[in-house]
Amino acid sequence: MQFARRRSSSLTPELALWAERIEKVARGYGLDFYEIVFELLDAKDVNGIAAYGGFPVRYPSWRFGMEFERLEKGYEYGLSKIYELVINNDPVVAYLVKSNSLLEQKLVMAHVCGHADFFAHNCWFQATDRHMLDTMGQHSTTVRRLVDRHGLERVETFMDAALSLETLLDPYLPLRGHLAKTKPTSLGAPPTYDILGFLCERAPVEDWQREILRIVRAEAYYFQPQRMTKIMNEGWASFWHSRILTGGVLDASEIVDFADCHSGATARAPGRVNPYKLGIELFRYAEELGHDVFALRRRHNDASLIDELVDETFVEREMLFLYGKNARTARTEVTDRDWRKVKDRLLGELAWGGLPQIELVAVDAHGKGELSLLHHHDGRDLQLAHARETLLRLSAVWKGPVELVTREESEGRLLVCDGKEVEVSEIAAPSTEAPTEQSGEH
């Protein structure tokens, strides 16, 4: 499978024919994408690849094994089944599960065309590595070499530490670099959100460890745009699969099954937001309002698209609401249906790719070589147990003290890690304002 690029495709002649037809219809609607290579695999192999984040080859890690175990269990018990798996690469590689029906395969192929177009044109993906299949393979080789040289335990321990830090990046960095027509580089100096980049350049680690940091950072930046455009990406793909299939690819006898399958994927799950559903409705709404959907899919991420489109009508029509815990009854309840509040909440959750916004504000502020981190609190607290463990690992990589300023509710907290322990103390609350929002639209 690692030779997917050299192999034309493992489709049956019938599926190959359909793939060709569906791609043609998709291009007819104005979708535009790199060549798509479909691989037909059985469920177990698809689970294996899914555990690797869509790639047939990754560096060795128990985490992937754990994910595989989870997917296999889910499949075994009939709880979950992977329909589609597609990776952003040139050519785009998409996996089809053998056991799916022909109708399901058609739906997935049409859906993949949507994703492929999105990868090719959404601005957040412009700086991603389009040969990631090869790059992942190189990373794998590198790490295996390091394991041979330094032993599994050492490499694994450091890799786990690095992976704990993989969310410490600046989601806007690659796009800024892309717009400035330069390779995205970290300045290696605070203040920065690209803490991984800072560590790659400044952490006093051995060469092989630096190599691991670089690998973890490169992969984290590769996956970051998918985090930031989950709703859009799925919405766009669903929007188009629906149109492609009902626009002549399916015959009348298949329409009812299609509707069943489609509505299953885009169902409203009670009490949560289904990205497929929210996404497809956003694009349909945009079309109704007379927006150019192709321009929207190019310029936006989830947060900025919602900012642009969501209004009272949309919130009402989609029955969006806020929920929260009622302290008195200990139940989770619908707390509000005011569209402004719903929109604010959505924006807040999506703004930083759904991650806590943590900035490296200073190095060596107290003369002990320490890193000073600031959590920009937006009403959501950090989970402190995790934060402590993460600081310990950060400190191990930095080989020096590390501190983090955050808040619990409205009270300020200072976590100081000397490399062995983390002490938490109360401080005056840091300013509540998040830093100036960087606009997502370009």
Sign of the Cα torsion 140, 145, 148, 150 reads negative
If the CB atoms of residues 32 and 437 are measured against another protein, the closer one turns out to be: 437
- CA distance linking residue 61 with residue 412, whole number of Å: 37
Tokens of 82: 């992977």
What's the closest the beta carbon of residue 279 comes to another protein, in angstroms?
10
- What lies within 8 Å, CB to CB, of 440 at 6+ separation is 228, 300, 301, 303, 304, 307
CB of 121 to another protein, least distance (A): 22
Is residue 364 within 8 A of residue 128, CB to CB? The reply is no
Q: Among residues 57 and 265, whose Cβ is nearest to another protein? A: 57
Q: Is the peptide bond before 356 cis (omega within 30 degrees of 0)?
A: no
**Residue with Cβ nearer another protein (207 or 409):** 409
Residue closer to another protein (CB basis): 31 or 225 = 225
Q: Which is nearer to another protein, 16 or 434 (CB)?
A: 434
Shortest Å, Cβ 47 to another protein: 8
Closest approach of another protein to the CB of residue 384, in Å: 7
Kindly tell me which of 254 and 266 has the beta carbon lying closer to another protein.
Answer: 266
Query: Which is closer to another protein, CB of 188 or CB of 324?
Result: 324
92, exposed or middle or buried, with CB in 10 Å at 0-12, 13-18, 19+? buried
Q: Return the amino acid letter for 398.
A: W
Cβ-based neighbour number of residue 269 at 10 Å: 8
Residue closer to another protein (CB basis): 299 or 413: 413
- SS3 state at 11: coil
Least Cβ distance, residue 337 to another protein (angstroms): 7
**Region of residue 89 (phi > 0: left; psi between -120 and 50: alpha; otherwise: beta):** beta
Rg for the chain, CA atoms, rounded:
23
Q: Min. distance of Cβ 324 from another protein in angstroms?
A: 4
The C-alpha atoms of residue 3 and residue 188 are separated, in whole angstroms, by 37
Tokens encoding 392 = 């310990």
C-beta closer to another protein: residue 273 or 429: 273
Which residue's CB is nearer to another protein, number 89 or number 164? Answer: 164
E-strand spans in 68-107? 84-87, 92-97
Give least dist CB 225 to another protein, A: 13
For the bound state, the minimum distance from the C-beta of residue 417 to another protein, rounded and expressed in Å, comes to: 12
Whole-angstrom distance, CA of residue 6 vs CA of residue 326: 57
Q: Closest approach of Cβ 257 to another protein, in Å?
A: 25
Nearest distance from residue 180's CB to another protein, in Å? Answer: 28
Residues making up the chain, counted from first to last: 442
Convert 192-222 to b/e letters by CB count within 10 Å (16 or more is b).
bbbbbbbbbeebebeebbebbbbbbbbbbbb
